[in-house]
Amino acid sequence: MHVAIEAIKLLNERRGIGRYMRNLLPQFAERDPSLRVTMYVRRDDDIARLRTLLATLHAALPERTTIAHVRDLPRTDADVVWYPWNFITIAAPHRPMVVTIHDVAPMLQLDHRWWKWLKRVRFKRRYQHTMHHAAAVLTVSEFSKGEIVRFLGADASRISVTPLASVDLPVEGPDATRPLDEAGITGPFFLTVGGHEGRKNLPTLYAAMDALYASGVHIPLVQCGPGMSSSTRAVAGRAPWLHHVGFVSDAELATLYRRAAALVLPSRYEGFGLPVLEAMRAGCPVICANSSALPEVAGDAALLFPWDDAAALAAHMTRLANDPVLRAAQIDAGTAHASRFSWSLVADQTLACFERVVS
């Protein structure tokens, strides 16, 4: 099979969707020695950079992969074209097209700033265009499948659910403590991972941290991910407990998971929530909101709370900080739960979808 992949964002995307791609590509190479890939990028100088990245992912990928400019995508001779980034961008009208829709958050009213309304309208049109042209849709959770059906009127039979995994994170490697060293943290800390969009619901976490400190539980919060929002900067200016460490390497992230008292994920809307599985696999207890896909991903191995209830979140954080028996039980449950997810299964399901649309 010959698969064309719209890979415009692969070099720069370091968050969930980038991990999704960097894990599936080597699995494709392992599973089908006859598989050929053409990857399409936006700039000519991305070609050499992408070839270097592919060599780090799997030794066979560079020799089986052609890299071309995205302007050539409509004329591809591939058997199937895959768009991993939520949308069909530059269509290949004479080939079956498969798109991975991770969630429909960009078109939902989760952020009420006026300019976000304009973006929502544009995103809704992009989703509708994508559904009109896609031969099949992949998504990462049953929750997201339901959202695609609900908001886009999609035929559920066209949608395949391929849950993600976390086995790429080097959880047993040597400690990489730069973020903790720079923050001056030597003792316990809570960890949160991700962006600062409204749906990430960070104000609830900040209110819980204020309550913890007021009650005498002085355990700081380490926050890693993209740059701070204006609301987070305002909190950082007055809160001694907040340490924003920015983007971290995989080794540093694994170290943070291993050393954290718990991962706290307060999001009100996630299509999957990969940090849940990453933390569990690293032996870190998880506290997450009981909303969107998070209960589906966390199963019975996390402490759940209503996304808008800071008092309930603070209570869970206090319990984990003070109860070593509970903490040990959560670690054991999380490790067992995370082991049920695998990138090899995601790859098998994805390739099966490609074969269905080709045949």
From 146, 120, 135, 114, select the one nearest 271 (Cα to Cα): 146
* Half-sphere exposure of residue 71: CA atoms within 13 angstroms, side-chain side: 2
Domains of the chain in sequence order: 2-165+342-358 (3.40.50.2000), 178-338 (3.40.50.2000)
Q: Does residue 157 surpass a pLDDT of 70?
A: yes
Residues 6 or more apart whose Cβ sits within 8 Å of residue 200: 194, 266, 267, 268
Cα end-to-end distance, the chain, whole Å: 11
Please state the pTM of the whole predicted model.
0.92
Confidence of residue 78 (pLDDT cuts 50, 70, 90): very high
Specify the pLDDT at position 112.
63
| Residue in 274, 195, 185, 255 with CA at minimum distance from that of residue 228 | 195
Q: Please report how many Cα atoms fall inside a 13 Å half-sphere around the Cα of residue 168, on the Cβ side.
A: 22
Could you report the per-residue pLDDT of 267-307, keeping only the tens digit for each? 999 999 999 999 999 999 999 999 999 999 999 999 999 99
The residue behind tokens 């976390």 is: 166
- 95 φψ region: left (φ > 0), alpha (ψ -120 to 50), beta (else): beta
Asked whether the beta carbons of 1 and 355 are under 8 A apart, the reply is: yes
Q: Average pLDDT in the 215-226 region?
A: 94
Residue-level pLDDT at 123: 92
Share of the chain above pLDDT 90, in %: 82
